[in-house]
Structure 1
């Protein structure tokens, strides 16, 4: 989604920006900066630029209702939730610099779409590690494929709920015109997440912070 600032009141936009800055400060405090592998950081930086370019390829239905791949699940599994939030915020800043996003709506886009997507992916990973077998197929299919698709659905539902609660669009309109597109897009998100993580754990497992060779392969 891409929420333009004209749809929302300034107090809401500033409150979302303040919440975003608070969450990013907490995320930066939790990242183990000194132990990050140099090669992984370079790859993750390139991923930010690539994702920003991917977000430029999007379709729009109405103001506040745009459709593009999210990439939050991939970033969360590659970097961990805290660093993923920082990286996705950087991608949003690149969108602002490219003139694709209103700077005052940056916090709202972060809190309503990216934050839920990262949270869902992180929660799915924790539940899978606790209740499911430590198997490579479980990691790729559940944590990358299914959680990737679910992350986009949750982000879209969160955005639609906000637009409905604020009276921007009627709920029947959102269900009939927006939800089917997000549901279809979630399959692309799931496939992309599963494919990228499958390749990464095979060729560059040291770049995937959520993947542990000893856990998934030492059997």
Structure 2
């Protein structure tokens, strides 16, 4: 989903801009910047942002604002934690917006495509970490596979209601022609994220901020 300028009511612009700016300011102050001093981590963050941008460009468009593409938010959240995930996805959104020029919709897109999915992904991770046994397969299945699927489904619902409230499309049209396909995307998002995280925690566990061998493997 990428909202265009024409779909956003003028009354929403300032509110969405203030909210997104507040989240970005919080991320800039809360992000553990010292982590970037570790060899390769800074390049990893930039590379991951560009990789997500590539996923965003592989999309199917139904009508203006009704685009279907992989999101990558759960993978970035597990890789870097919530604050760096927000900053990395914001960089991706900047590059994507520079391509299509929908700057008026930038902040609202940021709330829907950056803040919401990272928040959902992080909540799922924290819930799984606190309620379920610390096991490798639980980490991969629930945090990566299940978490990614739920995250993109939640974003699909949020995007649909946003379009309805904005008066861009009627609810019955979105329920019949948009949301079902978004829910199907949840499977692709889950599979892609699950495979990426599985490969990384096996071969490059030090790249995954939320994974620790001693926590999930060594005690088993």
Query: Which segments of structure 1 move beyond 6 Å, counting only runs of 4 or more?
Result: none
Q: Matched residues in 2 for 1:210 and 1:10: separation?
A: 39
User: More deviation in 77-86 or 101-110?
Assistant: 101-110
Mapped pair 1:156 → 2:156: yes
Aligned to 1:103: 103
TM-score w.r.t. the length of structure 2 is 0.95
Pair 1:128-2:128 in alignment: yes
Q: Count residues in correspondence.
A: 218
Deviations 1:164-192 (A, max 9, x none): 12222111111111111101111000000
Q: Which runs of 5+ in 1 are unaligned?
A: none
Q: Distance in 2 between matches of 1:65 and 1:85?
A: 23
User: 2:210, 2:148 → 1: CA distance?
Assistant: 14
Q: 2:76 maps to what in 1?
A: 75
In 2: Cα distance, 1:154 partner to 1:58 partner? 19
**In 2, distance between residues paired with 1:17 and 1:211?**
34
Q: Does the aligned pair in 2 maintain the 1:76–1:122 contact within 8 Å?
A: yes
Q: In the alignment, does 2:178 pair up with 1:178?
A: yes
The SS at the match of 1:162 is helix
CA contact (8 A) 2:128 2:142 kept: yes
2:165 — aligned with what? Answer: 165
Is the CA contact (8 Å cut-off) linking 2:121 and 2:151 kept in structure 1? Answer: yes
Retained in 2: the 8 A contact 1:121–1:147? yes
Distance 2:167 2:97 in 1: 26
Q: CA RMSD in A?
A: 1.1
TM-score when normalising by structure 1 = 0.96
Residues 36-60 of structure 1: per-residue CA shift (max 9 Å, x gap)? 3231221121111111122111111
Tell me the equivalent position of 1:211. Answer: 211
3-state SS of 1:61 partner: strand
2:7 corresponds to which residue?
Answer: 7
- Tell me by how many angstroms 1:15 deviates: 2.0
CA contact (8 A) 1:117 1:152 kept: yes
Cα shift readout 1:172-219 (whole Å, capped 9, x = no counterpart): 111111111101111000000100000000111111001011110112
CA distance in 2, matches of 1:35, 1:75: 15
Q: Do structure 1's residue 65 and structure 2's residue 62 form an aligned pair?
A: no
- 2:9–2:166: 8 Å Cα contact kept in structure 1? no
Structure 2: segments with no counterpart, 5+ residues: none
